[in-house]
Structure 1
Amino acid sequence: METNKEYNKPGAAHVPPQYTGSEMDAVEKIELASEAEAIHFFQTVKERLLDVNHWKEIAGGASSDFFLTDGEGHPVQRKATGGDHIRIDIPGPGPQTGGGYDWVTIEEIKAQVTDDTEVLSMTARPSANPLADSQDTAHFLTDEATSTFQVKRIGHTIYAEEHGRNEVTNTDTENTLDNIRNTFVGWGAKAGFSYPQWKALVKGLLNHKNPYSA
């Protein structure tokens, strides 16, 4: 498995360090004819990254459903900001703790700009269901896990990446059925079933011909 040092240095510090469980990386890049063209298209790529409600369309429909909510769990129709939640509808039964959904909170969104480089990163972490009283993590992974979604432009090359870190299956909730469900979903993720979803998303973020434009 690749480590951060093997990635292009810009934005590497935005990805939390790996210290437990498994990790996953999905990376795509495109090279455009000129830096000017890359600068222009990168604006669209950044808008797509923050438009969580359309991630399924951006990924070509081959993924879970994603719904952006505010910090209290109420659906919103806007670009993502720090403190928001993402409600995820994974195919199959969802956790009872999450009201049938997996939940993550957007911990932070970071930007980095230098002379010929731009980076935008969004890190999300499994969280409790903001609409429920339970403090149990409503996700098949524990709250040690993170997903960092990152787009960056280096000269006339644009990258889109997803970096999963510290992925440990969440099997210690107060709900026995959730523990069983999370075990099976976690097995699937470790078997590679989640990789195609993130690969489709990062490819979609860079797709010039994608009919969806944020």
Structure 2
Amino acid sequence: MEKEEGQELGKEKVPGQYVGSETNAVEAIELPSEEEARDFFQIVRERFLNVNQWYEIAQLPMSTFKLTNYLGKEVNRPVMEGDFFRIDIPGPGTEAGEGYDWVKIEELSEESSENEELLTLKARPSANPQNADSDTAHFYTEEAVSIFQIKRVGNKISAEEHGRNEVPNRKTDNIIDNVRNSIVGWAAKAGFSYPQWKSLMKGFVKR
């Protein structure tokens, strides 16, 4: 019964899937006691919020994440709602993003009770906050969303990434960006993004 409850925790935060592809990467561990799980969850939480270290945390690093504020200026602190991720993906970047892909943190929420803890981060492809170009500077359209979660239910801890409505972004005014986004989006759909998310989830809960 506890396992089912753990699977349901935070499920309402994950949007429905209605277009394009989806990804789901989950890694879970079980600790000897609930007390140890509570203590270790604080370490997992620190890793989760420290976006600038995600490259090092991942067991199979592929893309580099940099945290910026609402103006696109790099910051070295825990992530906050309204921040942006500047993502450096191997290969050519977007012109709209000045060589990078960008996502905006639309939601950062935390819930806890005596037996459960949940931290959810919702990210969506966005325009480059460093310039006035309104084109989405990401290989997916703004319909896509990524939900990152860490959970504790009793003595079990899990880290999850759920990508929804992932459609290659061919809506920009830049033909080169449209071609690039099609190629990167196809590669992600073919499964190249899953190992990265899976390795990051493993890194979050690694003891």
* TM-score for the superposition, normalised by structure 2: 0.96
Q: What is the aligned partner in structure 2 of residue 195 from structure 1?
A: 194
Q: What is the aligned partner in structure 2 of residue 212 from structure 1?
A: none
Q: What is the aligned partner in structure 1 of residue 204 from structure 2?
A: 205
- Give secondary structure in 1 for the equivalent of 2:74: coil
Q: What is the aligned partner in structure 1 of residue 155 from structure 2?
A: 156
Q: What is the aligned partner in structure 2 of residue 112 from structure 1?
A: 111
Q: What is the aligned partner in structure 1 of residue 14 from structure 2?
A: 15
Structure 1 position 74 matched with structure 2 position 81: no
- Counterparts of 2:107 and 2:82 in 1: how far apart (Å)? 7
- Give secondary structure in 2 for the equivalent of 1:95: coil
Residue 6 (structure 1) shift: 10
Per-residue displacement from partner, 1:82-104 (whole Å, max 9, x unpaired)? Answer: 00000000000000100000000
Contact kept in structure 1, 2:55 and 2:62, CA below 8 Å: yes
The number of residue pairs the alignment matches comes to: 204
The amino acid that maps onto 1:25 is: N
Q: Which moved more, 1:16-25 or 1:39-48?
A: 16-25
Per-residue displacement from partner, 1:16-70 (whole Å, max 9, x unpaired)? Answer: 2222111110000000000000000000101111100000000035220000000
- Counterparts of 2:71 and 2:5 in 1: how far apart (Å)? 38
Contact kept in structure 2, 1:11 and 1:112, CA below 8 Å: no
Residue 109 (structure 1) shift: 0.6
> For structure 2, which runs of at least 5 residues remain unmatched after alignment?
none
- Give secondary structure in 2 for the equivalent of 1:191: helix
- Counterparts of 2:6 and 2:186 in 1: how far apart (Å)? 27
Contact kept in structure 1, 2:151 and 2:159, CA below 8 Å: yes
The amino acid that maps onto 2:135 is: D
Contact kept in structure 1, 2:128 and 2:137, CA below 8 Å: yes
Question: How big is the alpha-carbon RMSD for the aligned residues of Structure 1 and Structure 2?
Answer: 1.3
Contact kept in structure 2, 1:32 and 1:38, CA below 8 Å: yes
Contact kept in structure 1, 2:64 and 2:87, CA below 8 Å: yes
Compared CA separation, residues 39 and 197, structure 1 to 2 (3 A): same
Compared CA separation, residues 95 and 6, structure 1 to 2 (3 A): farther
The amino acid that maps onto 1:52 is: V
* TM-score for the superposition, normalised by structure 1: 0.93
- Give secondary structure in 2 for the equivalent of 1:38: helix
